[in-house]
């Protein structure tokens, strides 16, 4: 697996409770791109994350030369609001346009319920942390 190792730090307090980290694990055929969000995915944080993630996806390239699996790690999130869900749907569309797959890592039952209630779990692979 190809490795990307980019740490995007929270700039000037724009989203101080979130780290956006891209990295990969070299144990499979997948070219894995991981975004870890440290906290809830809500309206106060989703806007800043949207721009940073979109720019990072473009910089990382696309399948087959770039990444082919995006993993959104929400294991630190206890909730997702409608703005956060909109971000996930936007990411899913970008991932599909790149010919790639998307996974979401969760630890909170509330996050899982939100994905099930909105039926996003039918379009994204959901994995318990």
Whether 17 is in a domain gets the answer yes
Q: Tell me, what's the pLDDT at 19?
A: 46
Whether 1 is in a domain gets the answer no
Find the domain containing 26 and state its range. 6-128
d(C-alpha 45, C-alpha 60), whole Å:
22
| CATH number of the domain enclosing 112 | 3.30.750.24
Whether 24 is in a domain gets the answer yes
Tens-place pLDDT, residues 8-37 = 333 223 333 444 444 445 445 678 888 888
pTM, two decimals, is 0.76
Q: Tell me, what's the pLDDT at 1?
A: 34
Q: Which two tokens stand for residue 5?
A: 């190792």
Q: Tell me, what's the pLDDT at 114?
A: 95
Tens-place pLDDT, residues 22-81 = 444 544 567 888 888 889 999 988 888 888 887 787 777 765 567 788 899 999 999 999
**CB neighbourhood size of 29 (10 A):** 8
Number of domains, the chain:
1
Strands 101-106 and 69-74: parallel
Q: Which two tokens stand for residue 12?
A: 């000037």
Q: Tell me, what's the pLDDT at 62?
A: 60
């Amino acid at each position: 697996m190809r490795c990307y190792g980019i740490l995007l730090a929270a700039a000037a307090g724009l989203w101080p409770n979130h780290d956006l980290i891209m990295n990969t694990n070299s144990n499979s055929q997948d070219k894995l791109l991981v975004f870890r969000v440290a906290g809830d995915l809500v309206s106060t944080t989703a806007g800043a994350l949207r721009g940073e993630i979109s720019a990072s996806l473009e910089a990382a390239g696309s399948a087959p030369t770039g990444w082919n699996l995006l993993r959104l790690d929400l294991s630190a999130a206890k909730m997702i609001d409608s703005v956060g869900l909109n971000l996930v749907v936007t990411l899913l569309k970008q991932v599909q346009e790149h010919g790639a797959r998307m996974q979401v890592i969760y630890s909170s039952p509330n996050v899982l319920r939100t994905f099930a209630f909105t039926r996003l779990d039918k379009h994204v692979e959901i994995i318990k942390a």
